[in-house]
Structure 1
Amino acid sequence: MLARATLLAASVLLVSGCKLELPILGGNSISGPLKLETVEFQRAGGPQCPGAPETTPENIRCANLQLTYPKVLAAGNPQAAAKINQFIQEQVLEYSDAEGKPPATPEEFASMFASAYNEVPDAMGLWEMERKVEVSFASDHLATLNFSESGYTGGAHPFSGQRYFVLDLDSGKQLTLNELLAAGYETELNKVGEQAFRKARGLSASTSLDGAGFWFANNIFKVNTNFGVLGNGLVFNFNPYEVAPYAMGPTDFTVAYGDIQGLIPDTSPLATVAK
């Protein structure tokens, strides 16, 4: 087993402020009380990282971690801002060492990632992990975070995926479909969701899902809980391996509010967004 190497000096920590308030293309928009600044962290560690003496593409042995995420300066209230920042940190730092201990800081995360690399006897080349959290949508009371991850840690191919999170800007709480839609919404949402899914995948209404290579129980479509609120509808994502082989890639599709208007109660936090 290789000895644990100390982290090399290939480290960058950047912090910059940016108030998000301009419209974004694709039916998304940023407005309301949310104010942010972007944090960027990058650190490489291992026996032979770029910049070390005599490092070449052939002998490189290194693990590189990149994190980009927002720091909330203001939300509906200071308590909500603090809770959202804690939530973002939990997502960005989701990792653990061999004993199951999670990192408390990006620096600890980088150290654990480099140590995991060094403990693989035949690890060669470059391990990489990049995590990014972006605000896809924000209004007076709701915000959608898009968490994406990609990289390579050995094996046949790289990994990638993304998750959406909908947050209440007044409480900092993560919201679920059960809290946004009327009771019993599942049947109608799955029906409309299947139409949007088929359109995104170029499938006709008569095409069998399993015949097209998708893995839905009993060949019946069902939305998942990986969803976000946008300006024009609810966006859903199926990651690689979730409902299809890796080679078929992910599927992102949007259910327009006009197609589910009857599922959105007037008392829902979604009601003002969906008008």
Structure 2
Amino acid sequence: MKKLVLVLTLNLLFLGCNKDVPKLSFDELNIEQVSEMNCNPEEENCTFIGIKVPWAMGKDTRSNLLNSHIEDHIIKLIDYQDAKELNSLENLAQTFIDDYEASAKEFAEYNIPWEAFVEGKVTYESEKLISIQFDLALFTGGAHGYTSITFLNFNPETGRLLSNKELFSQDFKDFAEKRFRKNNDIPENESINSTGFFFEGDKFQLPQNIGFYPNKVVLRYNAYEIASYSEGNIQLVFKMEEAKKYFKIL
């Protein structure tokens, strides 16, 4: 009898471990805040912050973890001073407005509105990977604003962030470097920085931001990462079919 109970228990455990994980469901989180200081609504010339991003709707640990990564990412994108403890996107939005108004009061002649806007979208979703793109436009005074495109890649079963090492084999880096050199006319026998790039240690590195789409993979170097601001953003784009053999999880 004990053996039968043990067999039944093991079977139940086996079935439980292989139970399909429900697909994540996303809604849109939308936060907007506008300052009334130096605001001219008719000309749409007001300081504002807008956040419109995918938000996992479940109440489980997986959804909460994924959302916390999204929240942390957006705070790092917009918190240009990186000097305050911001624990929510609502807190971030209010702090952005407060900082502008404090600056406007301190400098009476300061009347140029600030702007911050982040828009996110799911660009790829499968049983093994969710890729989310974030478009940032930020202006807090100065000669010019800043724009960037960043990506977060998640394990759909756990909500955990996936690193480049978990996504690609080591050979992918060599594959990407060859394409980078070809696109930027850098001879194979020359230093990767020989034409003006500034990769750390004079060695090619994959960017922090790699995004997935149904038919392509995008490697994105944002302004200042490997070149001056005047060079703008630099991208490598691979067709999904040619990059597939380097994937570890897809």
How far off its partner does 1:233 sit? Answer: 5.2
Q: Within 1, Cα distance between the matches of 2:62 and 2:234? A: 32
Amino acid across the alignment from 1:40: N
Between 1 and 2, higher relative CO (CA 8 Å, sep ≥ 6) is seen in 1
How far off its partner does 1:132 sit? Answer: 1.5
Aligned residue in 1 for 2:53: 69
Number of positions where the alignment pairs a residue of Structure 1 with one of Structure 2: 222
Aligned residue in 1 for 2:138: 151
How far off its partner does 1:165 sit? Answer: 1.1
Quote the RMSD (CA, aligned, Å). 3.0
Q: Within 2, Cα distance between the matches of 1:56 and 1:224? A: 39
2:64 aligned to which of 82, 86, 92:
82
Matches within 5 A, 1:105-144: 105-106=89-90, 108-120=91-103, 121-122=106-107, 123-144=110-131
How far off its partner does 1:198 sit? Answer: 3.9
Distance 1:202-1:224 versus aligned 2 partners, 3 A rule: closer
Q: Which moved more, 1:140-149 or 1:90-99?
A: 90-99
Q: Within 2, Cα distance between the matches of 1:35 and 1:134? A: 13
- Give 1 or 2: higher strand fraction: 1
Task: Note if contact 2:186-2:192 (Cα within 8 Å) is conserved in structure 1.
Answer: no
1:241 aligned to which of 216, 224, 230:
224
List gaps (5 residues or longer) in structure 2: 1-21
Task: Note if contact 1:142-1:167 (Cα within 8 Å) is conserved in structure 2.
Answer: yes
2:86 aligned to which of 84, 90, 102:
102
Q: Within 1, Cα distance between the matches of 2:81 and 2:36? A: 16
Aligned with 2:197: secondary structure? coil
Aligned residue in 2 for 1:27: none
Aligned residue in 1 for 2:166: 179
Matched-pair identity in %: 19
Amino acid across the alignment from 1:244: A
Q: Within 1, Cα distance between the matches of 2:47 and 2:87? A: 16
- Give 1 or 2: higher helix fraction: 2
Amino acid across the alignment from 2:94: S
Q: Of the two, which has the highest radius of gyration? A: 2
How far off its partner does 1:56 sit? Answer: 6.7
Q: Which moved more, 1:113-122 or 1:250-259?
A: 250-259
Aligned with 1:145: secondary structure? strand
Q: Within 2, Cα distance between the matches of 1:245 and 1:234? A: 24
Distance 1:157-1:258 versus aligned 2 partners, 3 A rule: same
Amino acid across the alignment from 2:52: T
How far off its partner does 1:68 sit? Answer: 0.7
Distance 1:98-1:228 versus aligned 2 partners, 3 A rule: closer
Q: Within 2, Cα distance between the matches of 1:81 and 1:176? A: 19
Aligned residue in 2 for 1:91: 73
Q: Is 2:32 aligned against 1:42?
A: yes
